[in-house]
Chain A
Amino acid sequence: MIECRRINKVFKSDILEGPTEVLKDVSFTIKKGETIGFLGANGAGKTTLIKTILGFIKATSGDILFDSHEMGNTREENLQNVGYLPERPYFYPHLKGREFLTLMGKLSRVEKVKFEQAISKWSQRLGIDFALDKQINSYSKGMLQRLGFVSTLIHDPKILIMDEPLSGLDPVGRREFKDVLSEVYRAGKTVFFSSHIVGDVEEICNQVVVLEKGSVVYDGLISDLIKTHSGSKVRFTVRGKVESLMGTSSNSFGNQSTSFLIEQDKKDNFLKEIINKDIDLINMSIENQTLEEVVYKIRKND
């Protein structure tokens, strides 16, 4: 649907400090029907790239290509198929929620009946319907986030692009947002959202793009990333208190049992050692790392 091809962005904001390279040769493709997490630490360049995709800022070099079959030929047609939610959205404070949504519906060039139905449906689904006739300046941070989410859905876009959509939400709100994201994904929409919280991406997405200091360090399936980088260790749990085996210190122990975390290639020798020493083996299992551990590892290696 959208392809980022060798995007570079250099900001020349400070004469004394010189130019800052924010995006370095960033390339990846957002395919139809995928849920893609866009991971990166604060300042990695996630928001800059999203703004580049949407045309708010111009790339120093590189291209953003929209699939004309899916997204239309002109920029206006492209944007008609995009639902965008910026990080910590802020709206016209003196308008009512409903007025703002009506404005967004009109600007999206959707029939009045259709966007009014969508406002009703999504505002109820996201629990903001009770506040639509109140002025936006009376909204809390979470309510603004919900209103913003409704506005991204009212024109029935093919792709949702969201910048940190779960920030500023309470646990209930986070759950509701995740449920709605899963719902729109099941309805065939493409979801691309940035986050610096790995757990959120792991929970919602099947694909991930990891950005580190302006460069893509991984782009692909989350399961592949974990498989490739985790190097699956094996956890041995033995009965009783054993301080070390084969020169390996125990990973954790209590009075009843001790556990050891061993690399895959050493597991056979370790097992022999347990048998030779006549230690009672309780459990042996493959220990997979979480996405968070893998991403942390990638960043550390970078």
Chain B
Amino acid sequence: MIELKTIWTISKYTFIELMKSRVIYNTLFLGFGLICISYIAAEFAYGVPQKVALDFGMGALSLSACGIALFLGGPLIKNEVESRTIQMILSRPVKRESFIFGRVLGMSLLLALNVSVLGLMTTSVYFFMGGEFQSLLIWTILFSLLESIILLNVVVLFSMFTTTTLSVIYTIIILILGHNIINSLELEMVKANSFLEGIIKTYSFIFPDLTKLNIKDFLLYDNSLSVSYLLKSTSYGLLYSGVILVITAWVFGRKDLE
């Protein structure tokens, strides 16, 4: 059985360790930069400065969360194995699965903090410029967090098999494809080739379809999305992360820690 207390202890200290590594300073620095750029860009926009500010803010928020997930997630487990810190932890009554869950949860908490700080700054600028509250604001921020958690899980899984650098590169490829490949189903060339269509559909079934979590255009232009779509996308994000995390824990449980 997986011990919740152990998972919580590991996640808590992972969070403390990451916080002390000063990554949150970068978030704050980025946040202030974001406010300045949003404000300046909005000054050049005719009529809709708040939307420009929101566009910049949400873009930067997403980029920052994905960046942190990739570059801190890649070495999250790998470094511990290489530096043998993991041997100290696993020489105690700690299941390997609990260790993985704890580390990923701790890192996810940091991502949540990062997204919350940047989200708060972005919405502050947006409201300051006369923007009105809409529930999609919250959903967009939440989906950025979900996207970064998916990427975190993917990069951690890759790091089980390859080097940190390669796992980050592979995950960047997954990120790019995840935002674009599903759109390629609309191409006439793909529609005409059932084999290619099958490959793309299979790909989007196995690898994450990040378009489901990209609702920035709806926030900026449509202002509405059905609740069922939002709930389905949330479920998709959580389920996908969960499945990848379980696979990672399974692989890690069978790995030789040389």
A135 touches B20 (CB 8 A): yes
Give the interface segment out of B44-52, B88-96, B113-121, B124-132. Answer: B88-96
Q: How far is the CB of A78 from chain B (nearest CB, A)?
A: 8
Determine the chain B residues whose CB is within 8 A of the CB of A104 once the complex forms.
Answer: 88-89, 92
Q: How far apart sit A83 and B88, CA to CA, in the bound complex (Å)?
A: 9
A95 touches B20 (CB 8 A): yes
Contact with A77, one of B17, B87, B93 (Cβ below 8 angstroms): B93
Nearest to A85 among chain B residues (CB) is B88
Indicate whether A119 reaches chain B with its CB closer than 8 angstroms. Answer: no
Do A103 and B257 form a contact, CB below 8 Å, given A54-B87, A91-B88?
Answer: no
Q: How far is the CB of A83 from chain B (nearest CB, A)?
A: 8
Q: How far is the CB of A226 from chain B (nearest CB, A)?
A: 33
Q: How far apart sit A231 and B88, CA to CA, in the bound complex (Å)?
A: 43
A84 touches B88 (CB 8 A): yes
Determine the chain B residues whose CB is within 8 A of the CB of A87 once the complex forms.
Answer: 84
B16 touches A99 (CB 8 A): yes
Contact with B87, one of A56, A106, A107, A108 (Cβ below 8 angstroms): A56
Indicate whether B6 reaches chain A with its CB closer than 8 angstroms. Answer: yes
Indicate whether B184 reaches chain A with its CB closer than 8 angstroms. Answer: no
Determine the chain B residues whose CB is within 8 A of the CB of A33 once the complex forms.
Answer: none
Q: How far apart sit A27 and B257, CA to CA, in the bound complex (Å)?
A: 22
A89 touches B88 (CB 8 A): yes
Indicate whether A1 reaches chain B with its CB closer than 8 angstroms. Answer: no
Do A103 and B13 form a contact, CB below 8 Å, given A51-B257, A79-B91, A80-B93?
Answer: yes
A103 touches B9 (CB 8 A): yes
Q: How far apart sit A108 and B16, CA to CA, in the bound complex (Å)?
A: 19
Do A56 and B20 form a contact, CB below 8 Å, given A95-B13, A107-B93, A108-B92?
Answer: no
Nearest to B82 among chain A residues (CB) is A90
Q: How far is the CB of B246 from chain A (nearest CB, A)?
A: 20
Do A57 and B258 form a contact, CB below 8 Å, given A92-B17, A103-B9, A148-B88?
Answer: yes
0 or 1 for each of A80-118: is its CB under 8 Å from B? (1 = yes): 101110111111101100010001101111000000000
Determine the chain B residues whose CB is within 8 A of the CB of A56 once the complex forms.
Answer: 87, 90, 256-258
Determine the chain A residues whose CB is within 8 A of the CB of B90 once the complex forms.
Answer: 54-56
Nearest to B96 among chain A residues (CB) is A55
A107 touches B9 (CB 8 A): yes
Do A92 and B13 form a contact, CB below 8 Å, given A51-B257, A86-B84, A104-B88?
Answer: yes
Indicate whether B193 reaches chain A with its CB closer than 8 angstroms. Answer: no
Q: Tell me which residues from 79 to 105 in chain B have a Cβ below 8 Å from any Cβ of chain A.
A: 83-85, 87-95
Determine the chain B residues whose CB is within 8 A of the CB of A75 once the complex forms.
Answer: 93
Indicate whether B21 reaches chain A with its CB closer than 8 angstroms. Answer: yes
Q: How far apart sit A249 and B91, CA to CA, in the bound complex (Å)?
A: 56
Q: How far apart sit A265 and B10, CA to CA, in the bound complex (Å)?
A: 65
Q: Tell me which residues from 1 to 32 in chain B have a Cβ below 8 Å from any Cβ of chain A.
A: 6, 9-10, 13, 16-18, 20-21
A109 touches B93 (CB 8 A): yes
Indicate whether A258 reaches chain B with its CB closer than 8 angstroms. Answer: no
Determine the chain A residues whose CB is within 8 A of the CB of B95 once the complex forms.
Answer: 76
Q: How far is the CB of B70 from chain A (nearest CB, A)?
A: 20
Q: How far apart sit A188 and B93, CA to CA, in the bound complex (Å)?
A: 22
| Besides the known contacts A55-B90, A95-B20, 4 further A-B residue pairs in the complex with CB atoms under 8 A apart | A57-B257, A84-B87, A106-B9, A108-B92
Chain B positions within 8 Å of A, measured between CB atoms, are 6, 9-10, 13, 16-18, 20-21, 83-85, 87-95, 256-258
A and B contact pairs by CB, cutoff 8 A, 19 listed: A56-B257, A57-B256, A58-B256, A77-B93, A79-B94, A84-B87, A86-B84, A86-B87, A87-B84, A89-B85, A89-B88, A92-B13, A94-B18, A99-B13, A103-B13, A104-B89, A107-B10, A108-B92, A155-B92
Chain A positions within 8 Å of B, measured between CB atoms, are 11, 51, 54-58, 75-77, 79-80, 82-84, 86-92, 94-95, 99, 103-104, 106-109, 135, 148, 151, 155
User: What are the 6 tightest A-B residue pairs by CB atom distance, in nearest-first order?
Assistant: A84-B91, A94-B20, A76-B93, A57-B256, A56-B257, A90-B83
